[in-house]
Amino acid sequence: MLLASAFNVFVLPAIILAVIGLVFGVMIGFAEKYFHVEEDLRVQTVEKLLPGLNCGGCGYPGCPGFAKAIVEEGASPDKCKPLAADAKAEIIAYLKEELAKAESK
């Protein structure tokens, strides 16, 4: 009797919780594969070259939005006021290099 009550109080809930955790883990794994989004590495690289102040002075919602606009819409890096001249040149050189790679394919 005591053993059966210990099973019902401790072991059974632990087993149920483990099964629920396993089911949700598998569901999250499938969701990750199904909803995976490829990120543009060029946007991440340009974002790293920006100052990271997220001031919005460029007219975009922070540096990630501005980096996306530079890569995808062709926005000028000159809109970023705190960006140093050498960083602007580095961004332009990087984008020219990526353009040359894309054209050679």
Q: What is the CATH number of the domain that holds 69?
A: 1.10.15.40
What's the rounded Cα separation, in Å, for the pair 98 and 18?
A: 49
pLDDT number for residue 3: 65
Tell me the residue range of the domain where 82 lies.
Answer: 41-104
Residue 10 — very low, low, confident or very high, per pLDDT cuts 50/70/90? confident
Q: How many domains does the chain have?
A: 2
Whether residues 26 and 61 fall in one domain: no
- Of 87, 38, 37, the C-alpha closest to 67 is 87
Q: What share of the chain in percent tops pLDDT 70?
A: 96
Tens of pLDDT, residues 19-44: 999 999 999 999 999 999 888 999 99
pTM to 2 decimals? 0.69
How far lies 75's CA from each of 1, 16, 29, 64, 95, in Å?
75, 55, 37, 13, 12
> Are both 27 and 53 inside the same structural domain?
no
Q: Quick one: 27 and 68 in the same domain? A: no
Task: Give yes or no: residues 29 and 79 share one domain.
Answer: no
| Tokens of residue 90, six digits | 């580095």
